[in-house]
Structure 1
């Protein structure tokens, strides 16, 4: 008895065949992750990229949910959607922080410029000589 199958024999696949991934699911995930990383590490720059992951991820998830037999890759689209939301929020908070920081510096420069010096060297010498 031989253990080789007859010619032309194809083993049956286990379970159901998976549909191909949606062509834009991976790009939604990339936009979301890059936007999140740039929002956290580069001072809020990702606020300009993360919304693309958010919007594209939401659209791709809706297309996959409308016809699940035609497209797969919902997890990649969902990752792009979630990281796009988080990246947008972090980016917006970081941009607000930097705007507040710049405004604070400008206000402090004007406050320091308006303060007149109240102590002169003559008054310091007068105080020191009165204590001796």
Structure 2
């Protein structure tokens, strides 16, 4: 899928498998290569959709971030959504990516059609 420009002009990378309407995925991390999710175990052809995995800054093919921020990454997700030309999305988030998805939902709930949190971290809930 290649590079996409974030809200502040920094480029981020994204991976895509399959074809059809994308299921947008936010991986865990930071500092974990998003390719660990791959195509979600061959899910794309089974659901007749593509899998579009955002590579937040500091992961995979995206440049490092001076400072990782859940809120900044949520805004990168908004820019990624614009690149996909979607008004609404089905969003799957894994591990620490769930924090990003929830931060995104707090500000852009109308843009989410379905939200699936897989093994969400409770780190923020404890603070």
Q: So what's the TM-score if we normalise by structure 1?
A: 0.25
> Which protein is bigger by CA-based radius of gyration?
1
User: 1 or 2, which has the higher helix percentage?
Assistant: 1
Q: So what's the TM-score if we normalise by structure 2?
A: 0.26
User: 1 or 2, which has the higher strand percentage?
Assistant: 2
